[in-house]
Amino acid sequence: MLIFILRRVLSGLVLLFVISSVAFLLLYLGGGDIARRILGQQATQEDVAAKAAELGLNRPLLTQYLDWLTHALTGDLGASWFTGEQVSAGIASRFAVTLSLVLGATVITALVAVVLGVWAAVRRGWVDRLVQVISVLGFAIPGFLIAVGLVLLFAIKLGLFDPTGYVNFTESPAGWLRTVTLPVIALSIGGIAGVAGQVRGAVVDALRQDYVRTLRSRGLPFNRVVFRHVLRNAGGPALAVLAVQFVGLFGGAVIVEQVFAIPGLGQVAITSTSQGDIPLVMGLVVATAIMVVVVNLIIDLAQGWLNPKVRLS
Amino acid sequence: MTEPTPLTEPTSPLEVSPELAEQTAKVSLFGRLLRTPIGLTAILVLVLIALSALFAPLLAPTDPNFASIGDVLGPAAPGHPLGFDSAGRDVLSRLLYAGRFSILGALLALVIALVIGVVAGLVAGYYGGWFDSVSSWLAGLVMALPGIIVLLAARAVLGPSLWLAMAIFGVLMSPAFFRLVYASVTAVRHELFVDAARVAGLSDLRILARHILGVVRAPVIIQSAMILGIAIAIQTGLDFLGLGDLGIPTWGNLLQDGFANLYSNPLLVVWPSLVVAVVCVALTLLAQTMRDLLERSTQPTRRRKKGKKAKVDPHKVDVIVHSDDARSLERMGEVLLEIDDLSIGYDQPGGGIKDVVHDVSLTVRRGEVHGLIGESGSGKTQTAWSVLRLLPDGGHITNGSIVFEGRNIAEALEKEMTELRGTKIAYIPQEPMSNLDPAFTIGSQLVEPMMVTLKISKDQARKRALELLAKVGIPNPQRTFASYPHQVSGGMAQRVLIAGAVSCSPDLLIADEPTTALDVTVQAEVLELLRSLQDEFHMGVILVTHNFGVVADICDRVTVMRNGRVVETGPVRAIFYGAQHPYTKSLLADILEEDEPRGPLTASVSARAAEADELADAEQAVNPTSTIGSAS
């Protein structure tokens, strides 16, 4: 088990290194004359050269990269070229906001999708068809359209929630709830659609396994077999889908945050990319990659817990 | 279409033959798609939207970029049915022209994803080697990243461009095709028809194009519809964030303009949302419908096969009954189970029920081992499952009664059956490995049912489980108890399942080919174990088998089934010496023929099985070798 974890951590670190290196090369090589872009077309050649020297852009790329990497290893991702704000601090505070949305959506997704999926697999008939319709529609309609629809209906027509803005949980829990409910719902609908169908499939598969019949033949009630044995065996595939969905929800959050004007990673992503604030973009890429690696690690551990074959080999 | 062939095993569609898969994908899939209401609607909607984009210059009232300052955010006017946007441009015109850019952009992403994914998948899957490992790793890497972040990062350096963004998105989506093609190719690479093509001297390129692409074509088409939908969604999302190219009309740009003016004119959001939602839903439904059609086309082969078997002799035939002799009666007690005129049917996809077992009657007494013999598909396992009331999904008892200890359990409620199972009627399955839950230890799978059915404590159940494991001949019960199923051998697993079946001392034991999946040497031991447990608990046993050797070995009476019907039944000696039905005779003849050249083996195996055997020496001659015959 220890070797299993170590191997996973190692492969995560390699992934992190490769992603950040590739991103660095692409961003700095593809950026053209970065100093010129920051200063604008009217700036003199001298000003541009001075700016490049100030940002260290006149050094060889490899030096710049090693410099960035050594700092990054100590947690220092540099400062924004436009605001001077520390990238790590700026991203950390925004990350918390986005994470609260995504975690909320993931929990709701997992609960609703498992209930719907198991229900559809066991009951079949109309429940099954309902879950299929939800899966298709939720998958097909982009999350931000759902978000726009929710704003139109609940915030503008009915006035039940604040249409935009964000209140910190520590400031006012009620205000926080009022501002995050719609974004979390908008994110969850797509997530539920993605996961419920998969849970249904995994449960249907597990129900067809021979051991289900054998366990029932020993006198175990059907529901007990479903909740103890079928769910546990369907858990592996379901978790894998949930992990993919979690990463997908992060992407979805970028757009949904924009609809609800929530100051999360999405806003950083949009301002930094439209300005060409490369240190901030790099920080974003690294933060995302770390998140992906951590989520995959957690899922791997959970898989090991669920599946003795993984754990013991 | 594939004709049902009298194969014993159902064949999956991708294995049939590449030509068949090709035809299914090319001709009938599209044809059948048009015949489903959802498929037809989805295609019509998509064609309509594509045509309206294509003919936008003819349909649009004005130029999409013609701004009239006086009409900013203006409502619908004659000639301008959808009103004006925040720059005073005609919304309908922009919507129509936007279709051109949005659809072309999505198509660009699709083509790039297709080319990279399919080519890389073919090469990696077919040739393997370093390209395989590198591309699989890359695919995993690309899939791990949230696409929107990558697109945003790319935009930071490349600037806003619909085409660049869609090209990058195509690269990001290529793993979807790569994985699909890769999986299919590795699955068929070692198929006989590919080997045959290679032996026949076809070049790799021809084999790839003709035999392998044919197999993956349909799934690739389905995936394409999904990817198109996702591409339109993500492209609209980017534009909606204001990160797209504002110089061209796209659905996302319209949406963004509408959202910015949500309070002044909410309708501006509605039109592009509607178009995008309709396109995405249509594409997804199209993919879903194609997938359903493809899956359905595989199932009838299996179902029809069942139906066909049942039709072989549709008329009720007279069962040849041999009456009990003194020898068979001597061992047996009161009647435990009486199956009368039992029929079992399965729901058909088009509605209705098709019977697969017809008018089966048989009686099992306490202390009797009743052999239920027939080829696979003869209905013997269905009959066995129906006694447990554990038929697979869609299976029903359509007629007849199953009277167990004086009660008709064919009509019992699930709750009543749960009470009977384990304590009164128990079951030993055929395949030991798949019948143990891989996620739980062997011990917990023995303890749990005992705690539930016998209402004993965990410690008591544990003690009993260890005793049982020792009793069924497991050398180190403690260790096996703590093991997971994948850590023990098939023979051990079967002993565990036998221990589980007898754990609550049932009256009736249903053993479904309990030795078929085991090694020859283990088979005799397991039969012997069954016989001794049966003696000890004085159970009635239904032993489902296709093997007359097993019947000779331990059965008292035997029922021969064929095509879902009983053809002959009686004491085992009467059947062996006086079989009347030609089918029974042919089954017996098969064994005797196979028997002769295997003299030496017979001796060694029968020596092991002989000890507990109460049957006469006459059967011994037929006995263990046929076990070998069936296993080889």
Cβ-defined contact of A254 to B152 (cutoff 8 Å): yes
Cβ-defined contact of A307 to B438 (cutoff 8 Å): yes
Cβ-defined contact of A15 to B141 (cutoff 8 Å): yes
Q: Give CA–CA dist B425/B175, Å, rounded.
A: 51
Q: Which of B241, B435, B504 sits opposite A258 (nearest CB)?
A: B241
Q: Give CA–CA dist B66/B55, Å, rounded.
A: 18
Residue B106's pLDDT band, with cuts at 50, 70 and 90, is: very high
User: Which residues in chain B (487-526) have CB-CB distances under 8 A to chain A?
Assistant: 487, 497, 500-501, 503-504
| Chain A residue with the nearest C-alpha to that of B235 | A142
Six-digit token string for B90: 């005609």
pLDDT at residue number A109: 92
pLDDT above 70 coverage of chain B, percent: 83
pLDDT at residue number A127: 84
pLDDT at residue number B316: 57
Spatial strand order in the sheet of B369-373? B320-321, B565-571, B557-562, B369-373, B540-545, B508-512, B425-428
Q: Give CA–CA dist B31/A153, Å, rounded.
A: 41
Nearest to B502 by CA among B473, B451, B459, B465: B465
pLDDT at residue number B598: 41
Residue B579's pLDDT band, with cuts at 50, 70 and 90, is: confident
Q: Give CA–CA dist B536/B320, Å, rounded.
A: 32
Instruction: State the burial class of residue B389 (Cβ atoms within 10 Å of its Cβ: 0-12, 13-18, 19+).
Output: buried
pLDDT at residue number B515: 81
pLDDT, greater one: B215 or A189: A189
User: Which residues in chain A (11-30) have CB-CB distances under 8 A to chain B?
Assistant: 15, 18-19, 23, 26-27, 30
Cβ-defined contact of B281 to A137 (cutoff 8 Å): yes
Average pLDDT on B488-492 reads 88
pLDDT above 90 coverage of chain B, percent: 19
pLDDT, greater one: B25 or A199: A199
- Over 50: is that where the pLDDT of B314 sits? no
pLDDT at residue number B617: 38
Q: State the nearest Cα–Cα gap between A271 and chain B, in angstroms.
A: 10
pLDDT at residue number B108: 95
| Chain A residue with the nearest C-alpha to that of B270 | A149
Q: State the nearest Cα–Cα gap between A174 and chain B, in angstroms.
A: 26
pLDDT at residue number B28: 65
- CB contacts < 8 A, A to B, total 215
Q: Give CA–CA dist B135/B124, Å, rounded.
A: 7
Residue B26's pLDDT band, with cuts at 50, 70 and 90, is: very low
B111-170 pLDDT, tens digit each:
999 999 988 988 888 887 788 888 887 887 777 677 777 888 788 777 788 898 899 999
Q: Give CA–CA dist B57/B84, Å, rounded.
A: 18
User: Which residues in chain A (209-248) have CB-CB distances under 8 A to chain B?
Assistant: 209-211, 213-222, 224, 228-229, 232-233, 247-248
- Over 70: is that where the pLDDT of B469 sits? yes
- Length in residues, chain B: 632
pTM for this predicted structure: 0.74
Six-digit token string for B82: 């959808």
Cβ-defined contact of B153 to A23 (cutoff 8 Å): yes
pLDDT at residue number B588: 83
Helix axis angle for B251-260 and B91-127, nearest 10°, is 130
User: Which residues in chain A (115-174) have CB-CB distances under 8 A to chain B?
Assistant: 124, 136-137, 139-142, 144-145, 148-149, 151-152, 156
Q: State the nearest Cα–Cα gap between B125 and chain A, in angstroms.
A: 23
If chain A, 313 residues long, is cut into consecutive pieces of 10 residues, what is the mean pLDDT of each piece?
Answer: 81 85 80 70 79 78 85 84 84 88 91 91 84 81 82 78 76 82 88 86 88 92 91 85 83 84 86 82 86 84 78 66
pLDDT, greater one: B413 or B594: B413
pLDDT at residue number A313: 59
Average pLDDT on B52-79 reads 76
Q: 3-class secondary structure for A161-205?
A: CCCCCCCCCCCCHHHHHHHHHHHHHHHHHHHHHHHHHHHHHHHHH
* Interchain CB contact of B153 with A (< 8 Å): yes
Q: State the nearest Cα–Cα gap between A310 and chain B, in angstroms.
A: 10
* Interchain CB contact of B455 with A (< 8 Å): no
Cβ-defined contact of B262 to A289 (cutoff 8 Å): no
Helix axis angle for B162-188 and B91-127, nearest 10°, is 30
Average pLDDT on B219-242 reads 86
| Chain A residue with the nearest C-alpha to that of B269 | A148
Residue B12's pLDDT band, with cuts at 50, 70 and 90, is: very low
Average pLDDT of every residue of chain B: 79
Give the side-chain half-sphere CA count within 13 A for A140: 24
pLDDT at residue number B24: 47
Q: Give CA–CA dist B106/B90, Å, rounded.
A: 24
Average pLDDT on B78-96 reads 79
pLDDT at residue number B259: 83
Least confident of A5-9, B97-101, B278-282: A5-9
Cβ-defined contact of B243 to A273 (cutoff 8 Å): yes
* Interchain CB contact of B141 with A (< 8 Å): yes
| Chain A residue with the nearest C-alpha to that of B238 | A255
- Over 70: is that where the pLDDT of B22 sits? no
pLDDT, greater one: B489 or B196: B489
| Chain A residue with the nearest C-alpha to that of B251 | A145
| Chain A residue with the nearest C-alpha to that of B227 | A140
Question: Which chain B residues contact residue A213 at CB under 8 A?
Answer: 385, 388, 390, 427, 429, 435
